[in-house]
């Protein structure tokens, strides 16, 4: 009896040891390491996505006239801050409190539940941070389109509604496992973030109208940006941030497979932007006999938005195609919007809305689990909701407090009228 027990115990020990040795042959990070890697991915990605707020600010500040530059700065730092508070108060649980297949999340202030964290494999706060900076990104997109004529406070009120409610509701439909999740795929947010920002901007532009003189006499009058170097800096910052935007959306880094996935996403993100730039460069040279820097910058952004719906699956040649079409969309859509007399100061609607749609619809090219019809459904449903909801908010703001600076204020610039100062008080303007 004792002998048998000894043999059994020893055999068991040897078996367990053997399986343990086997487990060491198949490399698996420890649970704790996986947790820390995942959390670190959220935090580092979140940091560079947060810095995209500076990128949008510099892009916009460089593309507006100097008399509106300080207002852009106020808007961009304020919208990020409002987004932070609204996502805490309402947004997060509207996204992630959705029942599976449901429509609305819960109205509950967010609090880090660290008990949950152990189950999800990352710190709850890291996830919240990463989601919050995404919401701010959508709001940043709106800022640029409406520049030079929208009043500060109505804009900030719109931002509060967008970041607290409109964005979170539609994001819950997909990322919160709501009713669109089963049929629709948007890896890092071509539709959920960029088109959402774009639709909100489009609604605002329609309600707000064009800047005075922009389409006077049936012609398009260019209002050149005051600092192309700052616009370029902003684009580089956005490009940098996009590695976190797309890479972080893998949501995990702690296994070999996840690390390989994040690395592939980095390469695809980079190549889509490269392709967007080169396409815009070549097309503007061919069309206008001169390279157009503003369109080249938007070409980078267009490429980046286009790959955002699926930055993991495409082969590089597919990525280059996707990004190049993004660059082409921007090149052709910027003058098209002007023909429609939709005044989009920085070209955000082509880059974020149109390229967002393109990027979402082309996902089936590389991801066979996704259907064109499913993607179209998501684009239409989310587009209809965000555009309608934004339109209603803009109209409500228009007919309550007014959203547009008066002619005098617009002429002297919002910096003087809204802020009582100048962005560059010493530099003489033409």
Tell me how far apart the alpha carbons of residues 22 and 172 are, in angstroms, rounded to a whole number. 41
Asked whether the beta carbons of 142 and 200 are under 8 A apart, the reply is yes
Candidates 184-192, 294-302, 362-370, 398-406; binding stretch for a second copy (CB under 8 A):
294-302
For residue 230, state whether it binds a second copy (rule: CB under 8 A).
Answer: yes
- Euclidean distance between CA atoms 55 and 62, whole angstroms: 11
Using the rule CB under 8 A, which residue among 59, 63, 70, 337 binds a second copy?
70
Min. distance of Cβ 251 from a second copy in angstroms? 14
- Residues 375, 378, 379, 380: is their CA dihedral positive or negative? positive
DSSP annotation of 404 reads B
Which residue is associated with the tokens 């409190």?
97
What would the x/- binding string for a second copy be over residues 186 to 225, using CB under 8 A?
--------------------------------------xx
**Which one, 176 or 276, has the nearer CB to a second copy?**
276
Q: How far is the CB of 183 from a second copy (least distance, A)?
A: 29
Q: Output 105 or 248, the one with its CB closest to a second copy.
A: 248
Residues written for the chain = 430
117 counts as binding a second copy under rule CB under 8 A: yes
Distance of CA 309 to the CA centre of its chain: 11
Sign of CA dihedral 43, 45, 46, 51: positive
Q: Which of residues 125-144 bind a second copy (CB under 8 A)?
A: 125-126, 128-129, 132
Cβ-in-10-Å burial (0-12, 13-18, 19+) of 293 comes to middle
Q: Which of 243, 234, 272, 244 is nearest to 348 (CA)?
A: 234
Choice from 63, 94, 124, 202 touching a second copy (CB under 8 A): 124
> Which positions from 384 through 423 interact with a second copy, judged by CB under 8 A?
418-423
Contact at 8 Å (CB) between 401 and 393?
A: no
State which of positions 1-40 bind a second copy (CB under 8 A): 2-3, 5-7, 9-14, 16-17, 20-21, 24, 27-33, 35-37, 39-40
Residue from 305, 280, 300 nearest 362 by CA: 305
Site membership for a second copy, residue 159 (CB under 8 A): no
**Nearest approach, Cβ of residue 307 and a second copy (Å):** 13
Q: How far is the CB of 415 from a second copy (least distance, A)?
A: 8
- List the interface residues with a second copy, window 76-115 (CB under 8 A): 76-78, 80-82, 84-85, 88, 110-112, 114
Give yes or no for a contact between 190 and 360, defined as CB atoms under 8 angstroms apart: yes
Q: How many residues bind a second copy (CB under 8 A)?
A: 136
């Amino acid at each position: 009896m004792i002998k048998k027990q000894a043999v059994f115990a020893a055999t068991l020990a040897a078996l367990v040891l053997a399986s343990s040795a086997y487990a060491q042959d198949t490399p698996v990070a420890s649970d704790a390491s996986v947790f820390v890697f995942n959390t670190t991915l959220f935090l580092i990605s979140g940091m560079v996505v947060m810095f995209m707020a500076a990128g949008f600010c510099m892009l916009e500040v460089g593309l507006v006239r100097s008399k509106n530059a300080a207002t852009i700065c106020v808007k961009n730092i304020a919208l990020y801050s409002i987004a932070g508070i609204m996502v805490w108060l309402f947004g997060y649980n509207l996204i992630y409190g959705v029942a599976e297949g449901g429509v609305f999340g819960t109205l509950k202030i967010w609090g880090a539940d660290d008990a949950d964290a152990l189950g999800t494999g990352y710190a709850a706060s890291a996830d919240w941070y990463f989601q919050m900076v995404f919401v701010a990104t959508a709001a940043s997109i709106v800022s640029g389109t409406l520049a030079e004529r929208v009043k500060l406070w109505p804009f900030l009120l719109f931002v509060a509604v967008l970041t607290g409610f409109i964005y979170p509701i539609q994001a819950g439909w997909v990322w919160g496992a709501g009713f669109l999740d089963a049929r629709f795929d948007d890896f890092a947010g071509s539709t959920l973030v960029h088109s959402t920002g774009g639709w909100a901007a489009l609604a605002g532009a329609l309600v707000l109208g064009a800047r005075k003189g922009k389409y006077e006499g049936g012609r398009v009058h260019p209002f050149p940006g005051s600092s192309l170097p700052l616009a370029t800096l902003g684009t580089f910052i956005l490009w940098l941030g996009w590695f976190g935007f797309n890479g972080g959306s893998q949501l995990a880094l702690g296994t070999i497979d996840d690390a390989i996935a994040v690395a592939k996403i980095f390469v695809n993100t980079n190549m889509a932007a490269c392709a967007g730039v080169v396409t815009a460069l070549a097309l503007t040279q061919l069309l206008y006999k001169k390279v157009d820097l503003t369109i080249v910058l938007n070409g980078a952004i267009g490429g980046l938005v286009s790959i955002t719906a699926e930055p993991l699956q495409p082969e590089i040649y597919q990525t280059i195609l996707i990004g190049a079409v993004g660059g082409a969309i921007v090149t052709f859509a910027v003058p098209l919007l002007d023909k429609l007399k939709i005044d989009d100061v920085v070209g955000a609607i082509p880059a974020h809305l149109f390229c967002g749609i393109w990027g979402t619809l082309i996902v089936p090219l590389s991801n066979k689990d996704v259907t064109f019809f499913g993607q179209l459904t998501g684009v239409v449903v989310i587009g209809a909701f965000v555009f309608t909801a934004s339109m209603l908010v803009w109209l409500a703001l228009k007919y309550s407090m007014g959203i547009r600076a008066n002619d005098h204020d617009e002429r002297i610039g919002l910096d003087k009228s809204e802020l009582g100062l100048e962005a560059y008080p010493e530099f003489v303007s033409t």
